[in-house]
Structures are given as structure tokens and as C-alpha cells.
């Protein structure tokens, strides 16, 4: 016992006060744990949703979640809002460990005032954002909210604004993930929109600026909430969602998996996982994958899965702009990002949506020290007035900007077609690729052989007795003379023409050699990407 300190029982009135305080603590703790109460929890479960604490329990390693701000409540001066009706302010916040690494998180609880955001609700989220930024740890938001709390008016709006500012300050410093597990409407959608990845739960997760009723009143369009802002709408139409899950549990497992590829912050290297897949593994099937006919499609996912560690590829935004594939994977246990044209869709052309998809992903990879592997098979940009009027020049320039700006290791493999501006855009040596390989089937030129022949030999074709036969002769001649990888290799734009089956070991070796790559750039506040 410490000298000079009397035992609690010996203090005058000490034991009675302690028991009273303990009873108060237990009552408040029970209220916090009950959140909205048994009936509302039952309704949450009936809707197929977990409660906030159940979600956090599933997200974090067992027994590691430490709650902060459990006893925070609204101020008592908002009309029509009693503090006792909002235990924990409708949001559970804290930190814990995921696969042994510290992660900060908040989970909105729809059983308490519909998970609505008020002044103190926002303050709890802001504290988590500040702590995560100071600690250099990822932030995960589990969103399930009816939006701004009407009773708190401008105080609630101010809370959103401060959250948006923290999202922006944390961007590129720590990974930010949002899991949309319930409604998210109005201004509430912009915090997810500012984060790096959005995972949505099909059937329960919804996001929209204006809901179905407002749209019907203003425009006369009839649409339900799921069609307007559900997971599939945002995965396939808007491109806002990055991953979709069938349930809360699956979404939380996806969140854990996604974090496994990412460093805790921009100053750390990505985490290395154990891999039993040999780096020198060759895939003979790749030697026969690309068809001889340049217009015949094949599935680039077969190439990706053959090159990266087995079962390590996590495709991002599958279902949106499917003429381009992006995703996270590992080679030798080390994470990297993969970008690939998909010949099965629109012949692998680049269009507006694919350009946005590519540019944002490459900028994320660069921010968090993840190398970029680019697999090229594209005939160019998608032609048409819709693309031109929609600003394909501006959107395509984002791709150029993202690749040229990136300082992480960049390895490019040209599988087949690489024509014109699209050849340049897909991480060519000109944009700063550290290593460029080509398969023997690669064709590099200003345009495809058919188009080039029609221009170069226009007069001869017009005067020929058999123009089709002459055209085919000239196409083959052009393909042999110009549209092959050896011309570019002779100029040093390609480092090696490699056997397709050897792609994995060649890529693995160059990535290992580039692991400690450093690149200095001119100092500036920031560039002006063509948004």
C-alpha cells in the first residue's frame, strides 16, 4: 500500500460514494450497449443488417477494439432532441487491430435516431480522423445513416464540412475506406466520395444526392431507392462503388482483405505476405493465348492470374468500364497494382470511363507506394461524337498525367496491339515506365496496319485491278516492316521481347530490382490534373 493513502473503506463516505458512482456507471454503460433498444435492434436484424458494435466486432481481430467516446451525447439545447435518446451519439468510434495492424474506425448505428449526424456525432468521427492521421493508421467508416440531423440544423451541416476537410487532409497520407451498409443521402455521400475505396452491401447500402421522392417531384422520373442508389447502380453505372458484397459479413471480410494489400500510411512500404508461389514459375498456356488474328478477343484476366501470385488478384470496379481491368495483387508476396486493357470488351479501347477508372487507381497506387504493372492491348481511343463531345481529350489526359506523375516502380508488358496515343498513354517508356517488355505478338505503330495502308496506298488501291488483294499484301508488308516489337526494341523503347510463358519471372525480377526506387521531382505545391 502506498504510504499516506488510506484504504477506500477508511475514507469518510468513500464507500457509499464509490458504490453510487459504480451504479451510475453501470446504468450509463447498459444504455450505451443497448443503443436504440431491443425493438430497434430486432428491426435492424430483420433488415439483414448487423448493429454498429456487431460490425466492429466482425471487422477487428478478436478482443482488440478499444471504444472511445462511449458516453458522448447531444447537447441539451436543440429543440425536440433529448440527450438520453441518443446513447453514444448514434456512432461507435475507436481503434483496434486488423491482422495485427492498428486501424481506426467509426460505425454509425441506425438504431439510434436513424444514425443521423449531429454536432457531437460529427465530433466523435473528427476525433477518430485526427487520431488516425497523427498515428499514421488507416481509417474505416461503416456508414448507416439517415443523413443530417434536422433538429441540429447548421450545427449538423458544419459537422459534415469538417469531416470533408479531414477526408481531404488525410487523402494520400493514410488509406481511407468506406463501407456503405445502409442509407447515405444528401451531403452524407461526399465523405465516402472523398475516400479511397467504397464497398457497398447489395440490398441495404444506398447512396444518392437527392432521393426518389425529390426526383419524382422535380423531374417526374419514377425510380426506387435501390435502382437509383443501390450497390449495382454505383458499381455498373456511376462507377462510384469499388467493391460490392452480398451481406454485412462479406463486406467486412472484403474490407479486411483490401487493407491487407495497403500500407498503414504513405511513409511505409506495403505489407509483405507469405507466398508459396515460385517467382520463376512459367505458364506455357500464355504462349498460345493471344490469337493470330489481331481482332479476335481473349480474356486478359487469364494473363493477370498467370502472372501474379495464385489467388492473390482482387479486381476493383469489376462491372464498370469493363474495357479496362484494374486490381490489387501480389508477386512474391509483395503487393502491387495491375492495370490491363480487356480485349473482350470494346476491343480494349480507352474511353472516358476507362480513362477515369485508370487515372484514379494509378494515383492511389503512387500515393501508397504500390508498384504498377500495366498489360497493354489496345487499338486506341474509342471513336465517336459521344466521346468527343463528352471530353475524351480531357479524360484521356488524366491517364497521361497519372502515369507521368507516378514515381513508384512502373513495369509495362505489351501483349498485342499498342497504337497511337493509346500506346503512349498505357505507361510507355516516354511517360516514365522503368521497364517495358513486349510479347512477340505485339504490334506498335501510329495506327493499325489496315488504317495505315488505306492512307499510305490510297491512290494505288484506287487504281488497282484487285484492290482487296493489294490491300492484304500491303497490310502484311506493313505489319512485318513497322508494326512489330523489334522496331521499337531497336530504338530502345522496349527493353526486351520475351516469351509469354516467361512473363511472371521477368516481371518479378525487375520489380525486385526496383524495390528501393527513388525519384526526385521539382518542388511545387501541386499540379493541375485535367479534372
HEC assignment per residue over 212-252: HHHHHHHHCCCCCHHHHHCHHHHHHHHCCCCEEECCHHHHH
Give yes or no for residue 327 having a pLDDT over 50. Answer: yes
Residues 434 and 463 in one domain: no
Give yes or no for residue 506 having a pLDDT over 70. Answer: yes
The number of distinct structural domains making up the chain is 3
* Domain contains 101: yes
Residues 96 and 243 in one domain: yes
Range from 29-33, 114-118, 172-176, 287-291 that averages highest in pLDDT: 172-176
Given pLDDT bands bounded at 50, 70 and 90, which one contains residue 481?
low
pLDDT at 489: 86
CA distances from 268 to 173, 255, 402, 405 (A): 10, 20, 21, 19
> Stretch 278-283: mean pLDDT, rounded?
96
For every residue of 240-251, DSSP letters joined together read --SEEESSHHHH
CA distance 333 to 327: 15
* Domain contains 268: no
Between these two residues, 531 and 19, which has the higher pLDDT value? 531
Digit-coded pLDDT (tens) for 330-341? 999 999 999 999
Between these two residues, 6 and 42, which has the higher pLDDT value? 42
* Cα angle, residue 60 at apex, residues 54 and 65 outer, rounded to 5°: 80
CA distance 158 to 122: 9
CA distance 378 to 375: 10
* Domain contains 373: yes
Exactly one of 153, 161, 172, 186 is catalytic; name it. 186
Q: Is 206 helix (H, G, I), strand (E, B) or coil?
A: strand
Q: Is 166 helix (H, G, I), strand (E, B) or coil?
A: helix
Exactly one of 69, 187, 205, 327 is catalytic; name it. 187
pLDDT at 14: 57
> Stretch 316-332: mean pLDDT, rounded?
98
Give yes or no for residue 177 having a pLDDT over 80. Answer: yes
Given pLDDT bands bounded at 50, 70 and 90, which one contains residue 85?
confident
Q: Is 416 helix (H, G, I), strand (E, B) or coil?
A: strand
pLDDT at 464: 77
- Would you call 182 a catalytic residue per the annotation? no
pLDDT at 168: 97
pLDDT at 305: 97
CA distance 52 to 110: 8
Give yes or no for residue 453 having a pLDDT over 90. Answer: no
CATH (domain of 492): 3.90.226.10
- Would you call 422 a catalytic residue per the annotation? yes
* Domain contains 531: no
pLDDT at 285: 95
Give yes or no for residue 426 having a pLDDT over 90. Answer: yes
Q: Which of 58, 62, 139 is nearest to 94 (CA)?
A: 139
Given pLDDT bands bounded at 50, 70 and 90, which one contains residue 147?
confident
Between these two residues, 130 and 35, which has the higher pLDDT value? 130
Could you tell me which residues are beta bridge partners of residue 379? none
Residues 322 and 224 in one domain: no
What nine digits make up the cell of 330?
Answer: 501480389
CA distances from 371 to 256, 265, 275, 425 (A): 21, 15, 18, 17
- State which of 197, 224, 259 marks the end of a domain: 259
Candidate from 25-29, 143-147, 492-496 with smallest mean pLDDT: 25-29
Give yes or no for residue 454 having a pLDDT over 80. Answer: no
Residues 437 and 471 in one domain: no
Residues 383 and 462 in one domain: no
> Stretch 387-408: mean pLDDT, rounded?
96
Burial of 231 (0-12, 13-18, 19+ CB in 10 A): buried
Give yes or no for residue 343 having a pLDDT over 70. Answer: yes
Residues 110 and 210 in one domain: yes
Residues 215 and 232 in one domain: yes
Candidate from 129-133, 161-165, 245-249, 464-468 with smallest mean pLDDT: 464-468
End-to-end CA distance of the chain: 67
Predicted TM-score (pTM) of this structure: 0.91
pLDDT at 448: 67
> Stretch 5-30: mean pLDDT, rounded?
69
pLDDT at 23: 83
pLDDT at 1: 37
Exactly one of 172, 203, 239, 421 is catalytic; name it. 421
* Domain contains 522: no
DSSP 431: G
Burial of 3 (0-12, 13-18, 19+ CB in 10 A): exposed
* Domain contains 279: no
pLDDT at 429: 94
> Stretch 98-108: mean pLDDT, rounded?
98
pLDDT at 446: 67
CA distances from 225 to 185, 207, 218, 230 (A): 10, 9, 16, 7
Give yes or no for residue 161 having a pLDDT over 80. Answer: yes
pLDDT at 2: 42
Length of the chain: 531
Q: What percent of the chain has pLDDT over 90?
A: 69
Q: Identify the helix (H) or strand (E) that includes residue 178.
A: strand 176-180
Between these two residues, 62 and 81, which has the higher pLDDT value? 62
Q: What percent of the chain has pLDDT over 70?
A: 95
Residues 463 and 428 in one domain: no
Please, which residues have CB within 8 angstroms of residue 469's CB and are 6 or more apart in sequence?
A: none
> Stretch 59-67: mean pLDDT, rounded?
97
Given pLDDT bands bounded at 50, 70 and 90, which one contains residue 11?
low
Residues 244 and 320 in one domain: no
Residue 359 near residue 352, CB atoms below 8 Å = no
- Would you call 246 a catalytic residue per the annotation? no
* Domain contains 288: yes
- Would you call 186 a catalytic residue per the annotation? yes
Residues 178 and 196 in one domain: yes
Domain range spanning residue 123? 27-259
CA distance 183 to 145: 6
Candidate from 21-25, 38-42, 491-495 with smallest mean pLDDT: 21-25
Exactly one of 88, 418, 422, 483 is catalytic; name it. 422
Helix axes 503-513, 300-307, angle to 10 degrees: 60
Residues 37 and 147 in one domain: yes
pLDDT at 17: 83
Residues 308 and 352 in one domain: yes
The rounded mean pLDDT for the chain is 91
* Domain contains 354: yes
Amino acid at each position: 500500500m502506498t504510504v499516506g493513502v488510506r484504504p477506500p473503506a477508511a475514507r469518510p463516505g468513500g464507500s457509499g460514494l464509490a458504490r453510487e458512482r459504480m451504479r451510475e456507471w453501470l446504468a450509463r454503460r447498459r444504455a450505451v450497449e443497448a443503443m436504440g433498444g431491443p425493438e430497434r435492434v430486432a428491426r435492424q436484424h430483420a433488415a439483414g443488417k448487423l448493429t454498429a458494435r456487431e460490425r466492429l466486432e466482425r471487422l477487428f481481430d478478436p478482443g482488440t477494439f478499444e471504444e472511445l467516446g462511449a458516453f458522448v451525447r447531444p447537447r441539451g439545447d436543440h429543440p425536440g432532441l433529448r440527450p438520453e435518446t441518443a446513447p453514444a451519439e448514434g456512432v461507435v468510434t475507436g481503434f483496434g487491430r486488423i491482422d495485427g495492424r492498428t486501424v481506426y474506425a467509426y460505425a454509425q448505428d441506425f438504431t439510434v435516431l436513424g444514425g443521423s449526424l449531429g454536432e457531437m456525432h460529427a465530433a466523435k468521427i473528427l476525433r477518430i480522423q485526427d487520431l488516425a492521421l497523427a498515428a499514421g493508421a488507416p481509417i474505416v467508416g461503416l456508414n448507416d445513416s439517415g443523413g443530417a440531423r434536422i433538429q441540429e440544423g447548421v450545427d449538423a451541416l458544419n459537422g459534415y464540412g469538417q469531416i470533408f476537410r479531414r477526408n481531404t487532409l488525410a487523402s494520400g497520407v493514410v488509406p481511407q475506406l468506406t463501407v456503405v451498409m445502409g442509407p447515405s443521402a444528401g451531403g452524407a455521400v461526399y465523405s465516402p466520395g472523398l475516400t479511397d475505396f467504397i464497398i457497398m452491401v447489395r440490398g441495404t447500402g444506398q447512396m444518392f444526392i437527392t432521393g426518389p421522392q425529390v426526383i419524382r417531384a422535380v423531374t417526374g422520373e419514377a425510380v426506387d431507392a435501390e435502382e437509383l442508389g443501390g450497390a449495382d447502380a454505383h458499381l455498373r453505372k456511376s462507377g462510384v462503388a469499388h467493391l460490392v458484397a452480398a451481406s454485412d459479413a462479406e463486406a467486412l471480410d472484403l474490407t479486411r482483405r483490401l487493407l491487407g494489400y495497403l500500407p498503414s500510411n504513405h511513409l511505409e512500404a506495403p505489407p509483405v505476405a507469405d507466398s508459396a508461389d515460385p517467382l520463376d514459375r512459367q505458364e506455357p498456356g500464355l504462349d498460345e493465348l493471344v490469337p493470330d488474328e489481331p481482332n479476335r478477343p481473349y480474356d486478359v484476366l487469364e494473363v493477370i492470374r498467370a502472372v501474379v501470385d495464385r489467388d492473390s488478384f482482387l479486381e476493383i470496379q469489376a462491372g464498370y468500364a469493363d474495357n479496362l481491368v484494374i486490381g490489387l495483387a501480389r508477386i512474391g508476396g509483395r503487393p502491387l497494382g495491375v492495370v490491363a486493357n480487356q480485349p473482350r470488351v470494346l476491343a480494349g479501347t480507352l474511353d472516358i470511363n476507362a480513362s477515369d477508372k485508370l487515372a484514379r487507381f494509378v494515383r492511389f497506387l503512387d500515393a501508397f507506394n504500390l508498384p504498377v504493372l500495366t498489360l497493354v492491348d489496345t487499338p486506341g481511343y474509342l471513336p465517336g461524337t459521344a466521346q468527343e463531345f463528352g471530353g475524351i481529350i480531357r479524360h484521356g489526359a488524366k491517364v497521361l498525367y497519372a502515369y507521368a506523375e507516378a514515381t513508384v516502380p512502373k513495369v509495362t508488358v505489351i501483349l498485342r496491339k499498342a497504337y497511337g496515343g493509346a500506346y503512349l498513354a498505357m505507361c510507355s517508356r516516354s511517360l516514365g515506365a522503368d521497364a517495358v517488355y513486349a510479347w512477340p505478338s505485339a504490334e506498335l505503330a501510329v495506327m493499325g496496319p489496315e488504317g495505315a495502308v488505306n492512307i499510305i496506298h490510297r491512290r494505288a488501291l484506287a487504281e488497282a485491278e484487285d484492290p482487296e488483294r493489294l490491300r492484304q499484301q500491303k497490310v502484311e508488308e506493313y505489319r512485318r516492316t513497322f508494326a512489330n516489337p523489334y522496331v521499337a526494341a531497336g530504338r530502345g523503347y522496349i527493353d526486351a521481347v520475351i516469351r509469354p510463358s516467361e512473363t511472371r519471372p521477368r516481371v518479378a525480377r525487375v520489380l525486385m530490382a526496383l524495390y528501393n526506387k527513388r525519384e526526385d521531382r521539382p518542388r511545387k505545391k501541386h499540379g493541375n490534373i485535367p479534372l
